[in-house]
Amino acid sequence: MSSTSQKHKEFVAEPMGEKAVMALAGIGEVLGKRLEEKGFDKAYVVLGQFLVLKKDEDFFREWLKDTCGANAKQQFDCYSCLKEWCDSFL
- pLDDT average per 10 residues of sequence, the chain (90 residues): 81 96 97 98 98 98 98 98 97
Residue 48: how many other CB atoms lie within 10 Å: 12
The whole-number pLDDT of residue 64 equals: 98
pTM of the model: 0.94
Q: 33: Cβ–Cβ under 8 A, 6 or more apart, which residues?
A: none
The whole-number pLDDT of residue 46 equals: 98
Q: 64: Cβ–Cβ under 8 A, 6 or more apart, which residues?
A: 70, 74, 75, 78, 79
How far CA 22 is from CA of 1, 10, 54, in Å, comes to: 24, 12, 22
The whole-number pLDDT of residue 4 equals: 82
